[in-house]
C-alpha cells in the first residue's frame, strides 16, 4: 500500500500536521485490553451498581416497564444497528419502513396528523416544540406550566438562552395540582386568572404533569388559541390507550418521550423523543420525515422527504440543527407497540393505573401521609410526608424499598419556583408499573407503616406546616 501511495512510511502521511502540534503518545500509556480482560473490567463496574428490583418505585420521567425479549432480539440485528441514516433509500428500506411505522404509531397515540422520525428525548423535544410554535406564530415569547418536569424546563431555558426567547411560568392550582387556566373570569367564590401575556406564541404543558396529575387540556387549548398561541403538550404516551389523545383536545404540537415503550431506563438514556403536529405546520417540523412513495417500477417504497427543512440542505436557515436522532430507540418503541397492540396498550395502562391507585389509597390511609394534590392521576402520584422525603426514603431503603423520587431531587442545579419550594422538602413522587407486583405494593405499605410509626426527632404531623 505504501508503494502505491508513493511513500516509505505511514508517518509520511502526517507531515502536513505542523511539527509543534504532533502528539507524543501520553505516558503512562495504557495498553489495549483483550475482549476477555475488557469483560472482567466492565463486568466488575456493572456489578458495583445496585439493580432496582420489584420494590423500586422510581419514575419522574424515566419509567421501568417490562421489555419483551423480541424487542432486544430484533433491534440488536446488525442490519438495523450498524446502518447509517437512510440516505440511499434503495438499500435502506428496512430502516425507512420502520421509521414510517414509528411516525404512524406516534400519530395514532397523539391524535396528530404528522410525526417526525424522532428527536433526542422528551426534554429536548419540548424545546424543539416550543421553537417550532414560535416560528409558526412569529413570536418570541413562551409560557410554560409549572407542571412541566423541572429538568425539561431547564433544558427549555438553556435552548431559549441562545435566541433569548422570553419564558413566563403559569402556576399550578395547589388543590387539584393542575395548571391554572389563564384568562378565566372571576366566578362565584373564585377569583379570575390572569390572561396570557401579550405576544405569547407557545403555551407548554405536560400530560400527566410532573406531579403525576392529569391536566384538563381542552380549556388550556382554548386559552392558548384565544391568545393566538399554539398549545404544545409534552405527553407520557404510556396512558394514551386510555386517555383521550391530546390532538382531540386541541393540542397543536405534541412532544414526548417514548422510552416507556421498548427502552430500559439505562440510567436516563438513550430514550426516544418525538414531535407530532397538525398538517398545517408540516413545513416547520424539525428533524427527519419518511414518506411512502413508489419506485421507477411503481413498487411501493419509502424515502426521506421534505429535506429542504433540514440542516444539510438549508444550513443556517434550517428548522433545527438536528442530524443524528434516536432511530434505533424509535425502532424499539415501534416493535414494543406492535407487540402490545391496541389491547395490550390499554391493558398495560389499566394494570399500572389500578396498582398505583391501590397503593395511593393504602398509603394515604397511613397516619401522617397526605396526597400532594387531589387531581386525577395515572401511574404516578405525589404524597406529602410528615418530615423530609429524603429521610423517609433512607428509612424505607433500609427496609428494602426505594419508595420514590423526592421532589427536591428534580430541582438539583436550579432554583425552585415558589410552589415547589413550599412542598418539595416533604414531597415524594411514587411511580407504579407492571414491574411492581402486588407483593411489592404490600411490602411498601408494611415498610411505610413501620417507618412512619417510628417517629424520628423533629416529627411534625401538623398539616398546616406543608399546606399549599
Partner 1 sequence: MPAPLEPPIFAHSVSGRGGVDLPPAGVPETDIVDLLPGVALRCSPPTLPSVAESQVVRHYTRLAHLNHCVDTGFYPLGSCTMKYNPKVNDEVAALPGFAYLHPYQPEEDVQGILELIHELERGLLVVTGMHRASLQPAAGAQGELAGILMIKAYHREHGGTARDTVIVPDSAHGTNLASATMGGYNVVEIPSSPRGIVDQETLRAHLSERTAAVMLTNPNTLGLFEEDVLEISRLVHEAGALCYYDGANLNAIMGKARPGDMGMDVMHLNLHKTFSTPHGGGGPGAGPVAVSERLEPYLPLPLVTRSADGTYRLDYDRPRSIGRMKGFYGNIGVLIRAYCYLLSMGAYGLAQASEDAVLNANYLRARLQSLFPLPYDGPSLHEFVLTASEYGSGAAHDIGKRILDFGMHAPTVYFPLIVHEALMIEPTETEDVSTLDRFVEVMKQIQRELTEDPEMVRTAPHTTPVRRPDEARAARQPVLRWSPSSPGVVHSSGSQA
Give the footprint of partner 1 on residues 220-239 (CB under 8 A).
Answer: none
Binder among 402, 422, 449, 466 for partner 1 (CB under 8 A): 402
In this structure, what are the phi and psi dihedrals at residue 391, rounded to the nearest 5 degrees? -75, -40
466 binds partner 1 (CB under 8 A): no
Residues 6+ apart with CB under 8 A from 289: 103, 114, 116, 117, 304, 305, 306
Binder among 137, 179, 236, 326 for partner 1 (CB under 8 A): 326
CA torsion sign, 118 to 61 to 76 to 105? negative
- Smallest distance from partner 1 to CB 362, Å: 10
325 binds partner 1 (CB under 8 A): yes
420 binds partner 1 (CB under 8 A): no
Show contacts with partner 1 in window 59-88 (CB under 8 A): 60-62, 64, 68, 70, 72-74, 76-88
175 binds partner 1 (CB under 8 A): no
- Smallest distance from partner 1 to CB 126, Å: 9
Binder among 175, 192, 342, 463 for partner 1 (CB under 8 A): 342
124 binds partner 1 (CB under 8 A): yes
Residue 217 burial (CB count, 10 A):
23
Stretch that binds partner 1, among 14-22, 194-202, 365-373, 453-461 (CB under 8 A): 14-22
Is the CB of residue 143 less than 8 Å from the CB of residue 180? no
Peptide bond into 28 cis (omega under 30): yes
- Which DSSP string corresponds to 368-392? T-EES--S-BSSEEEEE-SS-HHHH
56 binds partner 1 (CB under 8 A): yes
Closest to partner 1 by CB, 87 vs 460, is: 87
Peptide bond into 208 cis (omega under 30): yes
244 binds partner 1 (CB under 8 A): yes
List, in sequence order, the alpha helices (H) in 138-191: 150-160
- Smallest distance from partner 1 to CB 462, Å: 29
**380-384, strands of its sheet edge to edge:** 370-371, 380-384, 427-431, 405-406
DSSP state of 119: B
Binder among 168, 175, 226, 350 for partner 1 (CB under 8 A): 350
Closest to partner 1 by CB, 137 vs 320, is: 320
Interface mask (CB under 8 A) for partner 1, residues 278-317, using x and -? Answer: ----x-----xxxxxxxxxxxxxxxx-xx---xxxxxxxx
Which residues, in sequence order, are bridge partners of residue 144?
A: 169, 204
Is the CB of residue 365 less than 8 Å from the CB of residue 421? no
Q: Which region, left, alpha or beta, applies to residue 400 given φ > 0 means left and ψ of -120 to 50 means alpha?
A: left
Binder among 166, 167, 181, 214 for partner 1 (CB under 8 A): 214
Sequence length of the chain is: 468
Identify the CA nearest to 61 among candidates 148, 171, 170. Answer: 148
Closest to partner 1 by CB, 228 vs 339, is: 339
181 binds partner 1 (CB under 8 A): no
Closest to partner 1 by CB, 105 vs 260, is: 105
Stretch that binds partner 1, among 20-28, 193-201, 447-455, 460-468 (CB under 8 A): 20-28
Amino acid at each position: 500500500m505504501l508503494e502505491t501511495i508513493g511513500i516509505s512510511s505511514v508517518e509520511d502521511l502526517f507531515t502536513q500536521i505542523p511539527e509543534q502540534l504532533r502528539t507524543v503518545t501520553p505516558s503512562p500509556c495504557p495498553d489495549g485490553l483483550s475482549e476477555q480482560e475488557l469483560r472482567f473490567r466492565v463486568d466488575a463496574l456493572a456489578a458495583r451498581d445496585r439493580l432496582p428490583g420489584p420494590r423500586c418505585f422510581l419514575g419522574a420521567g424515566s419509567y421501568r416497564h417490562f421489555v419483551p425479549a423480541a424487542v432486544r432480539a430484533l433491534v440488536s440485528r446488525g442490519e438495523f444497528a450498524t446502518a447509517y441514516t437512510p440516505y440511499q433509500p434503495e438499500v435502506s428500506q428496512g430502516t425507512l419502513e420502520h421509521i414510517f411505522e414509528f411516525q404512524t404509531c406516534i400519530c395514532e397515540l397523539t391524535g396528530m396528523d404528522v410525526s417526525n422520525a424522532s428527536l433526542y428525548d422528551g426534554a429536548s423535544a419540548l424545546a424543539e416544540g416550543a421553537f417550532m410554535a414560535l416560528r409558526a406564530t412569529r413570536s418570541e415569547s413562551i409560557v410554560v406550566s409549572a407542571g412541566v418536569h423541572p429538568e425539561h424546563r431547564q433544558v427549555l431555558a438553556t435552548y431559549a438562552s441562545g435566541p433569548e426567547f422570553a419564558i413566563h411560568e403559569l402556576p399550578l392550582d395547589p388543590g387539584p395540582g393542575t395548571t391554572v387556566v389563564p384568562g378565566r373570569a372571576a366566578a362565584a367564590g373564585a377569583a379570575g386568572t390572569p390572561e396570557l401575556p401579550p405576544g405569547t406564541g407557545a403555551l407548554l404543558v405536560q400530560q400527566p404533569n410532573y406531579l403525576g396529575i392529569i391536566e384538563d387540556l381542552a380549556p388550556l387549548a382554548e386559552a392558548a388559541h384565544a391568545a393566538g398561541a399554539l398549545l404544545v403538550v409534552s405527553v407520557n404516551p404510556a396512558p394514551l390507550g386510555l386517555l383521550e389523545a391530546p390532538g382531540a383536545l386541541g393540542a397543536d404540537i405534541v412532544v414526548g418521550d417514548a422510552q416507556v415503550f421498548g427502552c430500559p431506563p439505562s440510567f436516563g438514556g438513550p430514550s426516544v423523543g418525538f414531535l407530532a403536529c397538525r398538517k398545517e405546520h408540516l413545513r416547520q417540523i424539525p428533524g427527519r420525515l419518511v414518506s411512502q412513495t413508489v419506485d421507477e417500477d411503481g413498487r411501493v417504497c419509502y424515502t426521506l422527504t421534505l429535506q429542504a427543512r433540514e440542516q444539510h440542505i438549508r444550513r443556517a436557515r434550517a428548522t433545527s440543527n438536528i442530524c443524528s436522532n434516536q432511530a434505533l430507540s424509535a425502532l424499539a418503541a415501534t416493535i414494543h407497540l406492535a407487540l402490545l397492540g391496541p389491547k395490550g396498550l390499554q391493558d398495560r395502562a389499566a394494570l399500572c393505573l389500578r396498582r398505583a391507585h391501590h397503593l395511593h389509597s393504602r398509603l394515604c390511609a397511613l397516619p401522617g401521609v397526605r396526597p400532594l394534590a387531589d387531581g386525577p392521576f395515572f401511574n404516578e402520584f405525589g404524597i406529602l410526608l410528615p418530615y423530609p422525603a429524603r429521610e423517609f426514603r433512607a428509612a424505607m431503603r433500609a427496609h428494602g424499598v426505594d419508595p420514590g423520587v423526592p421532589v427536591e431531587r428534580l430541582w438539583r442545579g436550579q432554583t425552585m419556583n415558589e410552589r415547589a419550594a413550599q412542598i418539595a422538602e416533604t414531597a415524594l413522587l411514587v411511580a407504579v408499573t407492571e414491574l411492581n407486583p402486588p407483593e411489592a405494593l404490600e411490602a411498601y405499605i408494611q415498610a411505610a407503616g413501620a417507618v412512619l410509626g417510628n417517629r424520628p426527632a423533629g416529627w411534625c404531623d401538623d398539616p398546616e406546616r406543608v399546606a399549599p
